[in-house]
Amino acid sequence: MPSQLHIVVCAGIVPDPLQTLEPITTPSGPGLKNEMVLPAVLDPWAACALYEAAHLAAKNPGSKLWLVSLGPKAKLQQVMMTVAQKVAFELVPIDGPIGGFPDAHATAAAIASTIEAIPGVDRSKLLIFGGWESATRGACVTLQIVGERLGITEQFQGVDQIDMRDDGSFEVLERIEGGRHQVSVCSSAPAVLGWATGNLAEPRNNPQIGMANMRSMMPALQKAKAATLDTNGLSYVSVSLPKQQRTTRVVKDMTPDQIAAELVEWIGAE
């Protein structure tokens, strides 16, 4: 018999990666130039987690899906107008700063306290999804700290697949070295799963799903609680774009062995 699940997806919003991002130093710390006018998207890694969560909820009737997202309300509204047409979920917004500079511990604390305050969440059915990586908060620890703050020690990172069993247990495929997967079995919820790319394509836009989501989304955005992310002593000496370096030589009539030897020498010098 399918299990009823309570799935909470932690997904931040990020500046569109197709834009030119220029880091600057602001009075409150590092930031991005013209950050509030840059178009934003749902974090690509977390988007995979959302689609997998919606698919899992659909296969287990009676399941509930929440999306917890931290960012400025205006930006959240802009992004959710598009995301809402993909899958059905209940938005739980947090009004806070966007970008990759806030401390991961402060971010995790805000998210964990928000999850604890969601009405009706049953820990015995709880699965917390999120991105294994992030387009901004790439510290690779935020989701893990969220789980630890909630007392959830069953954690899986680099997940590509989850298969629920009739007894409430589930099998997880995690990416490991060498292009292989590690197969793990967890006896029951709660658990934290940091998703890689998964196996699902991006769902098509469905205006009907979007309209249904927006009925609850707009009131939720209006009631979003503000979160102040403490620096916890974190400071940056400077922020700058990576330097572009390009060294090109055009050489004719080199043998494959000579090319390979030069590549090995170049790699060894790095």
CATH number for the domain that contains residue 17? 3.40.50.620
Is 132 part of any domain?
Answer: yes
| Amino acid 239: pLDDT | 66
pLDDT tens string 206-237 = 889 999 988 888 888 888 888 777 766 666 66
Is 39 part of any domain?
Answer: yes
Is 70 part of any domain?
Answer: yes
Is 247 part of any domain?
Answer: no
pTM: 0.80
| Amino acid 3: pLDDT | 75
Q: In whole numbers, what is the pLDDT of the chain averaged over residues?
A: 84
| Amino acid 268: pLDDT | 80
Is 20 part of any domain?
Answer: yes
Q: Looking at 32-46, 145-159, 163-177, 189-203, which range is the least confident one?
A: 32-46
* Beta strand 225-226 pairing with 155-164: unpaired
User: Which structural domain range is residue 204 located in?
Assistant: 6-226
Average pLDDT over residues 114-141: 84
As for how many domains the chain has, the answer is: 1
Average pLDDT over residues 257-263: 90
Is 266 part of any domain?
Answer: no
Is 75 part of any domain?
Answer: yes
| Amino acid 101: pLDDT | 72
Top-confidence residue, 61 or 237? 61
> How far is the C-alpha of 105 from the C-alpha of 145, rounded, in Å?
7
Q: Looking at 33-37, 95-99, 181-185, which range is the least confident one?
A: 33-37
Q: How confident is the model at residue 1 (pLDDT cuts 50, 70, 90)?
A: very low
| Amino acid 74: pLDDT | 86
Is 269 part of any domain?
Answer: no
